[in-house]
Chains A and B, each alone.
Chain A
Amino acid sequence: MIPGVDGFIYPNEVELQWGLLVVLYPYITGLVAGAFILASLERVFKVEAVRPTYRLALLTALAFLLVAPLPLQLHLGHPERSLEMYLTPHRSSAMAMFGFVYLWYLMVVLLLEIWLEYRADIVRLAQTTTGWQRLVYKLLTLGSENVSPEARRIDDKVSYVVTVIGIPSAFLLHGYVGFIFGSIKANPWWSSPLMPIVFLFSAMVSGIAAVLALYMAFMKVKKMPLDMGCLDTIAKYLFYTFVIDFSLELLDLVQRTYEADESFRTLDFMVHTRLWGSQVILQICVGTLLPLALLAANQLWKFSELRRKAMYLTASLLTMMGIFAMRWNVVIGGQLFSKSFLGYTTYKVGFAAREGLLSAIGLMALPFIIVVVLVKLLPPWAEGKPSENVVG
């Protein structure tokens, strides 16, 4: 008997191939896509109430996007060969497109939109700051210091177009990550045409929750008052998106249960044993039903400001945890059962290993550090005017 193995598994299946770092990859890209879509609410769909978080959402998306390839890089057996994905991509591979989708999103969408949004600020800061800061801002102007009303009008137009392109791009980025899993016919836990769309909606949920929590945290640190109208609106959108996301997941569950194909007994047993804690308790009960209840209550009743803040913060943190659990259950759960459907293996996270807990904590902390730096460098809010952006 092999420790950690129950029943029969193929002998090469004892060790999991994709561990904690691969769990982080869809989680982080999901946060990027979700944060961007929240930003686009204001920009394209003219939801003015969420304007105070527009810039923060863009910076959050950028911070997470910068970190997104790192877990994959650390996971590779030969990280030094990763450039081959760009140089000699294999066209039939779902994974080969990652580099291109990533670069498109980073360079064409996000960086361009942030630069256009902040251009006037950057020019102003380049003129008003001194020393190395001045140099940084000077560089960031990219040599364009024209901030005449006419130039800003063009900026605004281009930025609008970029956001319009950005929305399908964000969908592509995360829908594509879902396809990486959903297209594996060998694995019934992953193989589903619903996977890209479930990933997409869960991405939106986690991204919106992250921006909500970050907005509250930044306002607290900066001792600026929260814009409650903004919070209420974001919470409302979080609720709607979450309802769609959960419905899609339930649809998947109902379909699987009703069809009950040859893999069903194996997967059902796994959910009731090895995944009980992470899926039923953490993902569904604590990470979905509880935040949904908190958000739903706010759609039905009017609570005091203090209570709403507490409920929104709790809901967004639980949501982020729940979506992380969802990524865990997809990635790890998909490897705990044997493709013989006759047995199960176990996953143990290493601590100080290359793909261990320490690396994961470091990688998860990194985007938050980056976002703090970005907020310092490119302030999203005029100090003392929380409900307005610096640029009007």
Chain B
Amino acid sequence: MDLSRRDIFKIGGKLLLLASAGATFDEILGAAPPPEAYRMADHWWGMIIDIDKCIGCGSCVRACAQENQVPAGFFRTWVERYQVEEGKQPLVDSPNGAMDGFPPSKRTDLKSFFVPKLCNQCASSPCVQVCPVGATFVSPDGVVLVDETYCLGCRYCVQACPYGCRYLHPQKRTVDKCTLCYHRITKGLTTACCENCPTGARQLVDFKNPKDAVHEFLRNNKVEVLKPYMATGAKVYYKDLDGAVR
């Protein structure tokens, strides 16, 4: 079969057209299904912390500070070191929130452990209760957030938080706190602190997900929240929490 140059161009042109049309068609119908849209009502976020696994390295504190641009001297999460001597007040320290871990302890004869802290994402949150304009709220998926375009900076919520988790952002002049990395968890990721914990001491959990590890964790372990007598509905559960922890 003789093909002139003109024929070759014609066939080539048709093929090109077909290919591009096919590609467009493919794009319209979607080759891969779109990621499932995030539905707030399907989640109820919290965290579980295994104190025995925490080594006080401070990775979580650094990761949080970097991920959320936390101003120096303030903390969305921090780690405390408890050194408990029988019958005495515990010795507690958290140098710069454990941003750089801990110096070696001078006492080796004491019961010693680390306690990571963060906002407890309380369901009956006293900070939310007192906000005069409703700038801080519990989201439908159980995260306590602050609308920084609405916060007056009165700091009543800072006073009302029993756990010391809130602070006034020195530049924004509004109250700031742990958001449980809301920008990440709504995209299917875990929090910066959990992702960077080398021992898996802290895990983001979704109480509404029946397959979440939290259910087994709560069933099989002795757990406690911080200051349970405050009745804040805290959703950060600690495994084997020592009575000395405040």
Contacts and interface: CB of A to CB of B under 8 A. Distances in A.
A11 B150 contact: no
B181 interface: no
B78 A11 contact: yes
A197 to B, nearest CB: 21
A17 B159 CA distance: 8
B216 to A, nearest CB: 31
B130 to A, nearest CB: 5
Given A13-B164, A75-B154, A93 B131 contact: yes
Contact of B152 (A77, A187, A338): A77
B44 interface: no
A9 B163 CA distance: 11
Contacts of B80: 8
Given A184-B160, A339-B164, A341-B246, A93 B153 contact: no
The interface size bin for chain B is 35 or more
Contacts of A348: none
Interface stretch (B25-33, B166-174, B182-190): B166-174
Interface residues of A, number: 41
B159 A184 contact: yes
Contacts of A186: 126, 159-162, 230
A17 B168 contact: yes
Contacts of A184: 126, 130, 159-160
13 contacts: A10-B117, A17-B168, A77-B151, A77-B154, A81-B133, A82-B152, A84-B133, A93-B130, A93-B131, A95-B130, A184-B159, A340-B164, A342-B90
B133 A340 contact: no
A185 interface: yes
A85 B132 contact: yes
A11 B152 CA distance: 23
Given A17-B158, A95-B132, A342-B90, A12 B152 contact: no
A10 B132 contact: no
Contact of B133 (A14, A18, A77, A90): A90
A90 B94 contact: no
B231 to A, nearest CB: 8
Given A12-B74, A92-B129, A340-B92, A18 B162 contact: no
A76 B153 contact: yes
B89 interface: yes
A17 B164 CA distance: 12
Contacts of A317: none
